[in-house]
A and B are shown apart, each in its own frame.
Chain A
C-alpha cells in the first residue's frame, strides 16, 4: 500500500461496466512528509472514501480488486483509507 494525496477527479461516461457509478480519483503518490513521489495515478474509490485534497492510503495490483464488493473489476489501484494524521 502507499500514501497519496487526492488532486483531482476523472469524469467519464463510457467506461467498463463494472466501474459504473464508481468514483475515479487522480492521486499524487507522496511520502510521509507529503512530498510528491513518482507519477500521478488514477485510483478507484468504491466506498466513496475520499475527495479532492484528502490524504489517503491506496492498495495496488490485483489486491485493488478486493476493495470492491461485487464482481470482477479490472482495476489496479483502490483507495482503502482516509488518513486523519501521520504522527
Chain B
C-alpha cells in the first residue's frame, strides 16, 4: 500500500456498474513528510475519506471484487485507511 493525499473528486455519469454509488478520487502519492512523489492515481473510497485527507491506498488483483462482493469489479486502487498520525524517522 502507499501513502497519498486525496486531491480531487472524479464524477462520471457514464461508468461501469461496479463504480455506481461509490466515491472516486484522484490521489497524489506522498512521502511521509507530505511531499508528492510519483504519478497520481484514481482510487475508490472505501472508508469515507475527504479531499485533503492523508490516506493509505492499495489493492491487488481481485481484491475490489471481494471487498465490494461484486460479480465483476474492474477496480484496483482502494482507499482503505484515513491516517491520523504518522511516526517517521529518516533512518
Contact = CB atoms under 8 A, between A and B. Distances in A.
B82 A62 contact: no
Nearest to A78: B1
A41 B61 contact: no
A18 B28 CA distance: 25
B59 A13 contact: no
Interface size class of B (residues with CB under 8 A): 20 to 34
B81 A8 contact: no
Contacts of A74: 46, 58-60, 63-64, 66-67, 78, 80
A76 B48 contact: no
Interface stretch (B8-16, B18-26, B29-37): B29-37
Given A39-B37, A72-B67, A9 B87 contact: yes
Nearest to A6: B91
Interface string A55-87: 000001110110000001011110000000000
Contact of A39 (B29, B56, B89): B29
A65 B63 contact: yes
Contact of A12 (B31, B64, B78, B81): B81
Given A44-B1, A65-B63, A76-B59, 13 more contacts: A7-B89, A7-B90, A8-B86, A9-B87, A10-B3, A11-B87, A16-B67, A16-B80, A26-B87, A42-B2, A52-B91, A61-B61, A74-B63
7 contacts: A11-B83, A19-B80, A39-B31, A39-B37, A42-B2, A42-B81, A74-B80
Interface of B: 1-3, 29, 31-32, 37-38, 46-48, 56, 58-64, 66-67, 78, 80-91
